């Protein structure tokens, strides 16, 4: 199959990092790399031809012209025209597919001729704006996937970009869209004015196609009743008196609405049911009375946002928020992206949203960052609060645990790892752990599946107990999962 050539253009002294990132990203992406071959001028070998001649020749040969425009206009020839504008004009004359991305900056910083070029582009085609390198990558990905679909190279869309839901514009809430623009302008300098029409906003966010079909993300973000189309796009919140899942439950709520409402409602559920220290106001002071909730609201909200934004919306499960006596658990139906591990979540890592068209508007409204810092923020906020380090687990679902301050040390050690019947008292819980250790002593090569059968608990619960023993230094694994063995450390 012939590779689709992309010519990536910008002023040479601007967007060097962005050009290199896009080139690397397109070539290494599992899907995009199969179809596209990008070109950037940094890769041109030395030759006898003028630079402008080489670039214009590449424009002639390319299938897609991709322009990155910012505040610089660049070198001007004898006619006062920059190479970037020459390249765009040639691409337009040859009717090439043109994808233009404009850096969102203050107009007063932009060169007048660059402003004029952008105005010319806007008369010809629909252009996109971006704030940072992650936003640019998301927009480029969406545009290239749309190109492949329009050319019928592929006939598949990620969930949030799929548009076979049957929803119409009448089923979106215009007030929600206006409020979105207002908040996005205040928080992130969103480029569109508040009076922007719904269609223009949806087009800008890649949430509607040229046939008027709405992406699933549009319904989840701005729908009057999103659960009419996606019944499991809800959040279940429940509070328990103790350390395990058992009745009676003092509070249980199922929240429905758009993704912003889900996050706000679930966060309020948690914050209204934890302890809140209230100080005193000195006599004569007019300041508000100081308060300090038991958990940092930023960490709680970040965990809930991640669950709502990055969940697998094709799953029949819902996001679950469970508040126990010693901890908060946030369950997210789905798995981590390929190449991202639980261990990597503790440090800097790539931003790989499972639902990029959902994540982008949530970024504009200040609900998420786009640099892969979300889990780090949860850890740092809790540590700054004096709390135990949060924990992340990837099993059938993805789970975040934020530890509370009260009675943490009194919780059964394996309360998260065994069935409810074994969790009534710490002594019984310890018996399950002891039984597992005895089975390992008698057969160091025993598998987790066999331990699950022998103990009559799930594989996930076996894994949790093993993880706890390994953290405590009581158990180590020698060799791989299939040919290794367990080693008990110390006298147990």
> What is the residue extent of each domain of the chain?
4-156, 162-277+290-411, 420-488
The phi and psi torsions of 114 (rounded to 5 degrees) equal: -70, -40
Name the more confident of 85 and 55: 85
Name the band, by pLDDT with cuts 50, 70 and 90, for residue 287: low
Mean predicted lDDT score pLDDT of the chain: 84
DSSP assignment of 378-447 equals HHHHHHHTTPPPPEEEESSSEEEEEE-STTGGGS-TTTTTS-GGG-SSHHHHHHHHHHHHHHHHH-TT--
CB within 8 A of 25, min separation 6: which ones? 32, 137, 140
pLDDT of residue 252: 95
- Architecture of domain 162-277+290-411 in CATH? 2-Layer Sandwich (3.30)
pLDDT of residue 153: 82
Q: Angle at CA 8, nearest 5°, toward 21 and 80?
A: 130
Please state which of the four CATH numbers 3.30.70.260, 3.40.50.300, 2.102.10.10, 3.20.20.140 is assigned to the domain occupying 4-156.
Answer: 3.40.50.300
Name the more confident of 142 and 290: 142
User: What class does CATH assign to 420-488?
Assistant: mainly alpha
Of 12-21, 130-139, 287-296, the poorest mean pLDDT is in 287-296
- Evaluate whether 143 touches 128 at the Cβ level (below 8 Å): yes
Q: Is the pTM of this model over 0.85?
A: no
Name the band, by pLDDT with cuts 50, 70 and 90, for residue 86: very high
Q: How far apart (Å, rounded) are the C-alpha atoms in residues 417 and 423?
A: 9
Summarize the confidence of residues 409-429 as an average pLDDT.
42
Q: How far apart (Å, rounded) are the C-alpha atoms in residues 317 and 311?
A: 10
Q: How far apart (Å, rounded) are the C-alpha atoms in residues 378 and 53?
A: 52
Name the more confident of 490 and 239: 239
pLDDT of residue 49: 53
- Evaluate whether 107 touches 165 at the Cβ level (below 8 Å): no
Give Cα separations from 255 to 227, 232, 234, 284, 323 (angstroms): 10, 11, 6, 42, 15
Name the band, by pLDDT with cuts 50, 70 and 90, for residue 68: very high
Q: In this predicted model, what pLDDT tens digit does every residue of 362-402 receive, in sequence order?
A: 999 988 876 566 788 899 999 998 898 999 988 778 899 99
Helix or strand (DSSP H, E) at 320: strand 319-323
Q: How far apart (Å, rounded) are the C-alpha atoms in residues 12 and 372?
A: 28
Summarize the confidence of residues 411-437 as an average pLDDT.
53
């Amino acid at each position: 199959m012939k590779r689709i050539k992309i010519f990536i253009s910008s002023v040479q002294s601007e967007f060097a990092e962005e050009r290199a990132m896009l080139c690397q990203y397109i070539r290494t992406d599992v899907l995009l790399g199969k179809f596209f071959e990008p070109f950037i001028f940094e890769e041109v070998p030395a030759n006898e031809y003028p630079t402008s001649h080489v670039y214009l020749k590449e424009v002639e040969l390319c299938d897609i012209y991709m322009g990155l425009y910012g505040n610089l206009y660049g070198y001007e020839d004898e006619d006062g025209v920059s190479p970037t504008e020459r390249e765009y004009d040639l691409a337009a004359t040859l009717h090439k597919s043109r994808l233009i991305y404009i850096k969102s900056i203050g107009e007063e910083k932009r060169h007048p001729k660059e402003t004029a070029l952008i105005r010319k582009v806007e008369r010809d085609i629909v252009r996109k704006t971006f704030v940072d390198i992650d936003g640019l990558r998301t927009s480029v990905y969406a545009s290239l996937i749309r190109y492949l679909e329009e050319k019928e190279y592929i006939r598949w869309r990620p969930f949030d970009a799929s548009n076979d839901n049957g929803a119409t514009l009448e089923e979106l809430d215009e007030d929600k869209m206006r409020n979105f623009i207002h908040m996005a302008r205040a928080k992130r300098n969103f480029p569109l004015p508040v009076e922007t029409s719904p269609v223009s906003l949806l087009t800008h966010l890649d949430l509607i196609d040229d046939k008027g079909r709405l992406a699933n993300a549009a319904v989840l973000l701005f729908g009057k009743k999103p659960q009419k189309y996606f019944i499991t796009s809800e959040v279940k919140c429940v509070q328990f008196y103790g350390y395990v899942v058992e009745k009676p439950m003092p509070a249980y709520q199922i929240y429905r609405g758009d993704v912003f409402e889900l996050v706000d409602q679930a966060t309020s559920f948690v914050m209204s049911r934890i302890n809140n220290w209230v100080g005193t106001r000195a006599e004569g002071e007019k300041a508000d009375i100081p308060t300090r909730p038991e958990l940092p609201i930023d960490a709680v909200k970040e965990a809930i946002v991640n669950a709502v934004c990055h969940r697998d919306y094709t799953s029949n499960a819902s996001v679950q928020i469970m508040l126990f006596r010693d901890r908060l658990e946030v369950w997210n139906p789905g798995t981590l992206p390929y190449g991202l591990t639980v261990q990597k979540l503790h440090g800097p890592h790539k931003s790989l949203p499972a639902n990029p068209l959902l994540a982008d508007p949530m970024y504009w409204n200040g609900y998420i960052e786009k640099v892969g810092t979300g889990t780090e923020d949860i850890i740092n906020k809790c540590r700054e609060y004096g709390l135990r380090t949060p924990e992340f687990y990837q099993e059938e679902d993805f789970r975040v645990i934020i530890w509370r301050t009260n009675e943490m040390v009194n919780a059964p050690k394996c309360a998260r790892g065994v069935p409810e019947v074994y969790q009534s008292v710490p002594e019984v819980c310890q018996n399950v752990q002891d039984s597992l250790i005895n089975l390992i002593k008698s057969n160091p090569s025993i598998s987790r599946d066999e331990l699950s059968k022998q103990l009559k608990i799930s594989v996930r619960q076996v894994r949790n107990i093993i993880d706890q023993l390994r953290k405590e230094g009581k158990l180590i694994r020698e060799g791989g999962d299939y040919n290794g063995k367990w080693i008990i450390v110390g006298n147990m």
